[in-house]
Amino acid sequence: MSIDQEMPENEVKIESELENEAVHDEESHTEVGEHEYTIDELKQELEEAKQKAHENWDKAVRTMAEMENLKRRTQKDLEDAHKYSLTSFGKELLPVYDSVVLGLQAATGDNEEVKKFREGCDLTIKQFEALFAKFNIVAIDPMGESFNAEQHQAMMMQEIEGAEPNTVVNVFQKGYLLNGRLLRPAMVVVAKAAEKPSDDNM
């Protein structure tokens, strides 16, 4: 056999070996790169995915609830700020109103100057009352009512014949509410129960 005849056989042998190696590499790659999942593994992954979806849904619901609560709180704060923005101004205004009322009560006599002064005070008081009504400032005049610690300030306790204990028997100064919130308590005198005579006096 000549050299020219041997060369093709060698080439064919080499090519065959190369093809076998390539097929072996491809099979190895397929075995490493691809994983056949069992049913149990798929069920486990499905449960994990469901769990994550449930957790994300819970987070979304909580976030929405928190946002809604924040919206409500903000709205309430804005409403309160609007309703009670006059609190400080109202507290400063009440003593002025009281002074006008006291001035009217002190103005006695029938001369023209006193009459004009009384007319001026009457007009000013009516303007105050219209202003109070406009901004929902309501007077607390608890004469004859039961004492209410939330709206009344007891200046003293007195035994008053015929008066029920814990009843307001005199009002030194009216109180006021602004949109239902206490602006100033009413200063009052409260009736107390008569003391029982001691055994020594019998």
Tokens at residue 68, please? 């809604």
3-class SS letters over 15-70: HHHHHHHHHHHHHHHHHHHCCCCCHHHHHHHHHHHHHHHHHHHHHHHHHHHHHHHH
Say whether pTM exceeds 0.75: no
pLDDT of 130: 95
Amino acid at 126: K
Give the per-residue pLDDT at 84: 81
10-residue averages of pLDDT along the chain (202 residues): 48 55 48 63 87 90 90 84 84 94 88 90 95 94 94 93 90 94 95 72 52
User: Do the Cβ atoms of 159 and 194 come closer than 8 Å?
Assistant: yes
pLDDT recorded at residue 160: 86
